Amino acid sequence: GLADKKVPYSQFRLNYEACASDKELLAVSGAPHALAFAQAEPEQREHLFRFIEKYFTNDQGGKHEH
């Protein structure tokens, strides 16, 4: 989250930019370390679920229900 004191946003961006894999940036305003998902807006959670479904579901169709 953007209020993370352990991993500041500047470090988060450096890690994001260094990653060569398919990626999408999702930063949650006001969220401290490890609480971004818990404090995310429903639209942000849906965005995360779509990313997971796109890159981490198997070809047999196992879709995540949320």
Q: What CA–CA distance (Å, rounded) separates 36 from 51?
A: 16
Burial status of residue 10 (CB atoms within 10 A of its CB: 0-12, 13-18, 19 or more): exposed
Give, for all 66 residues of the chain, the pLDDT tens digit.
999 999 999 999 999 999 999 999 999 999 999 999 999 999 999 999 999 999 888 765 555 555
As given in the structure block, the two tokens for residue 43 are 């639209």
DSSP 63: P
As given in the structure block, the two tokens for residue 28 are 């949650």
Q: What CA–CA distance (Å, rounded) separates 44 from 62?
A: 21
Q: The whole model's pTM is what?
A: 0.73
